[in-house]
Amino acid sequence: MAHHKSAKKRIVRNNKRAIINGTRRATARTFVKKVEAAITAKDKTLATDLLKTAQSELMKAASRGIFHKNFVSRNVSRLSAQIKAL
């Protein structure tokens, strides 16, 4: 347990940030799942529209340090390749 006031404040802040980051991570993953659902339904126009929003959300998350930049780039690349193959 922390004894200094600043360390106690840091624990509170870290817990708040963990909740916020978890929400952002879950939101980004939900957008990716929507794109994957559109791909399995073979709906190319819907998938491309959803990919734009998913890419935006993923890049926001990457810029905020929730996901690594290369992880996001790899996922967007794979999704776009799957859409292109439809």
Say whether pLDDT at 1 is over 90: no
DSSP assignment of 40-77, as one string? Answer: HTT-HHHHHHHHHHHHHHHHHHHHTTSS-HHHHHHHHH
* pLDDT > 70: percent of the chain: 100
Residue 33 belongs to domain with CATH number: 1.20.58.110
* Per-residue pLDDT tens digits for 10-69: 999 999 999 999 999 999 999 999 999 999 999 999 999 999 999 999 999 999 999 999
The residue range of the domain holding 60 is 5-85
Whole-model pTM: value is 0.83
Count of domains observed in the chain: 1
